[in-house]
Amino acid sequence: MLSALEKDRIRVAEIDVQIQNLERSLTALQIEKRLVQDRLDSYTYPVLALPNEVVSEIFIHFLPPYPTCPPLTGIFSPTVLTHICRKWREIAIATPMLWRAIQIDSYYRITTERQAHISDVWLSRSRCCPLSIVVDHHDPGRFLKVFLHHQARWDYLKFDLSLSNLLPIKGPIPLLRGLHLSLNDFDPQLKVAFHDMPMLRTVTLNDYATLSVILPWAQLTSITLLSVYPSECVPILQQALNLVHCSIGACLEVGNEHPVPDIRLPSLESLILEDPAPFPLTGFLQKFLVPALHSLEISERSLGPNPIESLASFISKSGCELQQLRITGYGDLAVSEASYRTAFPSVPRMSFSIYGDEWRDEE
Host domain of residue 302: 216-253+260-363
For the chain, residues with pLDDT lower than 50 are 358-360, 362-363
Dump pLDDT digits (tens) for 140-185.
988 999 999 999 999 999 999 999 999 999 999 999 999 999 999 9
pTM: 0.85
Number of domains in the chain: 1
pLDDT of residue 1: 61
Within-domain flag for 25: no
pLDDT of residue 357: 55
Within-domain flag for 231: yes
Within-domain flag for 24: no
Three-class SS of the chain: CHHHHHHHHHHHHHHHHHHHHHHHHHHHHHHHHHHHHHHHHHCCCHHHHCCHHHHHHHHHHHCCCCCCCCCCCCCCCHHHHHHCCHHHHHHHHCCHHHHCEEEEECCCCCCHHHHHHHHHHHHHHCCCCCEEEEEECCCHHHHHHHHHHHHHHEEEEEEEECHHHHCCCCCCCCCCCEEEEEECCCCCCCCEECCCCCCCCEEEECHHHHHHEECCHHHCCEEEEEEECHHHHHHHHHHCCCCCEEEEEECCCCCCCCCCCCEECCCCCEEEEECCCCCCCCCCHHHEECCCCCEEEEEHHHHCCCHHHHHHHHHHHHCCCCCEEEEEECCCCCCCHHHHHHHCCCCCEEEEEECCCCCEEEC
Within-domain flag for 289: yes
Within-domain flag for 125: no
pLDDT of residue 363: 43
